[in-house]
Amino acid sequence: MTQISVVVPVFNEEESLPELTHWISRVMNDHGFSYELIYINDGSSDNSWAIINSLSQESNKVKGINFTRNYGKSAALDAGFKKACGDVVITMDSDLQDSPDEIPGLYVMITEGKFDVVSGWKKERHDPLGKTIPSRFFNGVTRWISGIKLHDFNCGLKAYRLKVVKNIHIYGEMHRYIPLLAKWNGFGRIGEKVVQHQARKYGYSKFGIERFLNGFLDLISVSFVHRYKKKPMHFFGFLGSVSFFTGFIITCWLIFEKVYGLSKGHKVREITDQPLFFLALVALIIGVQLFVTGFIAELMTSNQSKEAEYKIDEEINFDF
């Protein structure tokens, strides 16, 4: 039985792969762990896939998944999670900034029965201020919105019980919020471990400053999806109701004002000459549109497909 599955997304990291593989192998052998190492090549344009093939021939512990193109880290993790079979699943980045020496500690925290998810915390980071300051702000806002008291949501080094990764679906750019997805799926025992952060040894970071803006948009998206994925009419229907009845009340008021004024012999402006008429008209139209959007969303939800959002070109060393 496999104790640990190590899932590693790869994008243009050909220099680091041999060293990372041997480092993980040494740690596992020193602690007597049975393990598998799953590399997911996310459309690399360098020789990463050729190196993964070579490493897999040296050891059947090394397994590989090759995407037809670059689909992103979330898709890579999702593919790795589907193939993982270890009791504990460890994720880490392939750039050697995550230390495999942390694996035994993460494994113990999971297997002691205290946690479903353990997230790494890079308390001392070897990154420029241009990354650390926005990261702290991002993590603070995410902590406040999600209610999960983690210091580093974006740390690639995390550990999960197998049943956690088999019951969540990661898509888009949701890899930052796996602890949140786990919590919403009933796995709320989430812990944190201070981990060593290595300075980058090869290459350069593949992520720019735009990831922080995307991160906030993703947080809003994942919160919305969690609350309304199965009941979109509750969201669109509520907004549609408010808009429609606002327009309806304004229309009734304008009609009442017109009729009452005429009955008293007052000179009253035409309804269509009043700005409130156009406001009411817009509110009524928007209300109907939101209702229609809600109905369409309900139909899409009831017929949604679970087809994978990525395409796999080749797999190696998998028996299933």
Helix, coil or strand: residue 227: helix
Q: What are phi and psi of 237, to 5 degrees?
A: -65, -40
How far from chain centre, in Å, is Cα 238? 27
Report pLDDT for 305. 46
Residues belonging to the chain:
320
Residues 70, 43: Cα–Cα separation, whole Å: 4
Q: What is the pLDDT of residue 208?
A: 53
pTM higher than 0.85: no
Mean pLDDT in order along the chain per 10 residues (320 residues): 92 93 95 96 93 94 94 92 95 91 95 90 67 67 77 88 91 80 88 82 58 63 66 78 89 83 71 81 88 74 57 76
Report CA dihedral (159, 164, 169, 173) to the nearest 10 degrees.
-30
CB-based contact 206:11 (threshold 8 Å): yes
In 3D space, the residue among 115, 140, 137 whose CA is nearest the CA of residue 193 turns out to be 115
